[in-house]
Structure 1
Amino acid sequence: MEKAPKHKLYPLAETLFIEQGMTCTAIAEKIGVTETTLSKWRNLMEWDAKRDKIQSTPAKIRELLLTEMKSVSEGNKAKIDADALSKINKALSYLEGKVSLSVVISVFMEFDNWMAEVDPAEAVKLTVFHKQFINYRAEQDSLK
């Protein structure tokens, strides 16, 4: 592999591409380096291979999606293909044999509503455990 370019913005550009998942177009707009230069760096320094290694973990995918969601909610243009990442994340969760937290919450809500009609006192007791489990799962999911 070649030696990294000495340009003062090279480290920033590399980080934005590899770790933040930004496109060369978005990086060019953000830091003022031409797309041509970024493409040269990308090919010369094998940014795509580096990005693949870093961004292929479920935890990183979730982190990227959350960061992108925050950015878009602040009125910024999307920098990554969040739809594709979301689909990949869903597939990974499926392969892990684990349902998403939103599904767990939905099932618990439906069960709690049903249980409230059948035995209100027992429903109250179970709801406490459901909330504890949801908090536990949220914490576990954030660690991945």
Structure 2
Amino acid sequence: MEVIKGGGNINNKAKKELAEKLFIEDGLTAKDISSMIGISEQTLSRWRKEGNWENKRNEFLAAPHKIKEVLMKELKSIATGEGSTIDADALAKVSKVIESLSSRTSVQVIFSVLKEFDNWMSDQEPKMAIAFLEWHRRFLQHRINQEE
């Protein structure tokens, strides 16, 4: 990354946006960022607090694409014989939880699919469609109860 000497010709808003990106996405330290864009660490600290950058950084690091990037680096490290840098058991547990959460279909999606099915079924077999309605209602109630 190139140093903006003396702050360059960019305004404070642009500096703040750049600093936020460097902190959240690139993981640079406050000291590095402040020297790169020509601001004091105190100004950067104020911007971090005002913009809630810590939470944004944590959310960014927990994003699926970022987790995949970390795992790919870990795989490369293991493949080149450098050894593991993360706890594989903990990773397996977290992965299992993420998989179970992402494989669960939301009640809203189920409702939409059943509604579409009911509309289609009413054109095919109206009496059968009416019979399915009660079962669909019961299933939706079951799933709602599971989420509570």
TM-score (norm 1): 0.41
TM-score (norm 2): 0.40
Structure number with larger C-alpha Rg: 2
